[in-house]
């Protein structure tokens, strides 16, 4: 990353290398918890659950058992990839008419109305039952210990926590849980969450059923009723996760795997297909010509995202058409190499009828897990059920209230989802397990990281350190259209000013920013040696740890 004030061999820190196992995530205590599970003989999914549970304690604004998860698992014993969709559904009582009676034109971001069923705990159970080798007592022990005894709050997490003080103060249970002494904990201060320790302990005793059909479920339902929410015990009882086959495209000899909708992962595949028609290496890394093509490909893919992505149980989603090479060729012809597009309608593929955390783990047997889990916005809905120590997500806010939209609100329907895990294989074997958290930044972050690795030959740490762009203002999955001026391109400060000027000359509205560029974690399996190479996001508090 030439020109960066902390650059050393193109990177801010060295690649982490290890022979046996590795965990990469956004908080060191969580990564270490996963490593301890691997050292004790656990499977990669055991370590992923342990890491996620600790993150729910130490990074509570970004994730927790009040939210959803998605994962891609490579099973080394069979050589197969498996996709898990552990996202929850809208309450049975959720209907557009109810929001209209309340005089609402959109689903609120906070409070009880954007709740959907939390899928995380069922996701843990699906992973553990299919692949795990340890019980909940073992995998949740580190998280219970930190929740009971406390931990020092790290720098970036403390900053994000403080930013949510106003939201948390709106509800007494939220403030009691997350604002001890009336404020967010500062960097280095200790924090405990005895209520969450209690819930985790109950899960070790009663498994996933305690959360969906037992004491915890009844307390969530009672809290919903007391706060005029729509979530009921029936909604929790009827929740199930699904195993969905990952979908893929090839990019310059690598196979990139994402999960199909209701998530946004296929936008990555569409962007890569479009970009494969350009010689980005010749155009130069983060040059105006490369960035222009990446931004324009993003606009095209996100226009399709807004039009087509929804719960496939409720709508036709033309996945194979959208990720086909033929469609990408048509889309590529829409890009003007000299001018930024301002009006970007969705394409017309033929319908084929037949705040977040990311973590990744690879174990000694080379089982790999790409795992992402979220509450959506920071602290989700902002509401913590009494005595339970975790906030409920606000993922339902991403439903549209437009009756003609594929992603319209309907009872027991999964909303459009932003969180996407990814994996890359080479010659049928896992090469990279990675993700880039951060709302709408995620697909464009995946694309930029993969171009860094494949087109520009960066190592796994350089690829995450390299400065990024974040284009905003594309059409939204709630039905809102693209901004009239084509949206905004935010550039990190280390992208050259001459590049910013050249983009502006092409018609891009360019701004400078220091945040909003996602959070990357990755583990690469060196195809020549079989050794593990880990990279971790310098924009977060975390690290890659190996053994």
Q: Which residues are catalytic?
A: 356
Strands 509-512 and 488-491: parallel
Q: d(Cα 488, Cα 508) in Å, to the nearest integer?
A: 7
Structure tokens at 505: 């000359």
Strands 532-536 and 519-525: antiparallel
Identify which of 367, 362, 463, 376 has the alpha carbon closest to the alpha carbon of residue 24.
Answer: 362
Contact 523, 22 (CB under 8 A): yes
Residue located via tokens 């084929």: 352
Q: d(Cα 220, Cα 211) in Å, to the nearest integer?
A: 9
Distant-in-sequence, close-in-space partners of 325: CB < 8 Å, separation ≥ 6: 249, 273, 276
Contact 450, 256 (CB under 8 A): yes
Contact 22, 545 (CB under 8 A): yes
CB atoms within 10 A of CB 427: 9
Q: d(Cα 463, Cα 495) in Å, to the nearest integer?
A: 14
Structure tokens at 55: 């993150």
Identify which of 92, 67, 49 has the alpha carbon closest to the alpha carbon of residue 417.
Answer: 67
What does the chain come to in residues?
Answer: 547
Between helices 28-39 and 136-149, what is the axis angle to 10°? Answer: 150
Residue located via tokens 């939201």: 167
Q: d(Cα 443, Cα 181) in Å, to the nearest integer?
A: 39
SS3 74: strand
CB atoms within 10 A of CB 149: 10
Residue located via tokens 């209907």: 95
Please write down the long-range contacts of 174-182, taking CB distance under 8 Å and 24 or more positions apart: 174/379, 174/382, 174/383, 174/384, 174/391, 176/384, 177/384, 177/389, 178/60, 178/379, 178/384
Largest CA distance in the chain: 63
Structure tokens at 341: 């597009």
């Amino acid at each position: 990353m030439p020109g960066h004030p902390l650059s050393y061999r193109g990177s801010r820190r060295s690649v982490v290398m290890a022979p046996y196992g590795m965990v990469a995530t956004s908080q060191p205590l969580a990564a270490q918890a996963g490593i301890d599970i691997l050292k004790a003989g656990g499977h990669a999914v055991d370590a992923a659950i342990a890491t996620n549970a600790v993150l729910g304690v130490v990074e509570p604004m970004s994730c927790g058992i009040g939210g959803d998860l998605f994962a891609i698992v490579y099973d080394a014993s069979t050589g197969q990839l498996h996709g898990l969709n552990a996202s929850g559904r809208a309450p049975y009582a959720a209907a557009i008419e109810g929001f209209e009676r309340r005089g609402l034109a959109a689903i609120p971001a906070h409070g009880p109305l954007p709740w959907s069923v939390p899928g995380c705990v069922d996701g843990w159970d699906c992973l553990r039952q299919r692949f795990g080798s340890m019980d909940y007592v073992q995998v949740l022990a580190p998280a219970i210990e930190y929740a009971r005894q406390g931990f020092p709050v790290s720098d970036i997490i403390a900053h994000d926590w403080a930013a949510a003080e106003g939201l948390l103060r709106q509800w007494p249970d939220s403030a009691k849980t997350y604002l001890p002494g009336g404020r967010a904990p500062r960097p280095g201060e200790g924090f405990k969450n005895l209520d969450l320790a209690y819930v985790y302990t109950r899960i070790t005793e009663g498994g996933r059923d305690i959360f969906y059909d037992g004491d915890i479920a009844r307390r969530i339902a009672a809290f919903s009723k007391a706060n005029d929410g729509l979530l009921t015990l029936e909604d929790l009882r009827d929740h199930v996760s699904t195993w969905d086959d990952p979908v893929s495209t090839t990019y310059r000899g690598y196979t990139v795997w994402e999960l199909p909708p209701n998530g946004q992962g296929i936008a990555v595949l569409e962007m890569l297909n479009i970009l494969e028609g350009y010689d980005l290496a010749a155009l130069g890394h983060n040059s105006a010509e490369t960035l222009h093509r990446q931004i324009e490909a993003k606009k095209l893919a996100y226009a399709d995202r807004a039009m087509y992505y929804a719960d496939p149980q409720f709508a036709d989603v033309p996945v194979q058409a959208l990720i086909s090479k033929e469609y990408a060729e048509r889309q590529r012809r829409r890009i003007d190499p000299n001018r930024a597009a301002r009006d970007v309608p969705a394409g017309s593929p033929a319908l084929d009828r037949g705040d977040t955390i990311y973590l990744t783990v690879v174990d000694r047997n080379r089982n790999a897990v790409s795992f992402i889990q979220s509450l959506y916005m920071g602290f989700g809905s902002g509401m913590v059920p009494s005595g339970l120590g975790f906030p409920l997500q606000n993922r339902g806010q991403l439903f549209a209230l437009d009756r003609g939209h594929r992603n319209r609100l309907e009872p027991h329907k999964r909303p459009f989802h932003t969180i996407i895990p990814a994996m890359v294989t080479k010659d049928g074997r896992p090469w990279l397990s990675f993700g880039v958290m951060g709302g709408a930044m995620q697909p464009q972050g995946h694309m930029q990281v993969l171009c860094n690795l494949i087109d520009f030959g960066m190592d796994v740490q350089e690829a995450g350190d390299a400065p990024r762009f974040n284009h905003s203002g594309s059409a939204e999955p709630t039905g809102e259209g693209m901004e009239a001026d084509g949206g905004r391109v935010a550039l990190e400060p280390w992208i050259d000013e001459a590049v910013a000027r050249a983009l502006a000359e092409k018609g891009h509205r360019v701004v400078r920013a220091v945040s909003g560029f996602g959070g990357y974690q990755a583990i690469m399996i060196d195809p020549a040696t079989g050794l593990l190479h880990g990279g971790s996001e310098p924009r977060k508090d975390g690290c890659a740890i190996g053994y």
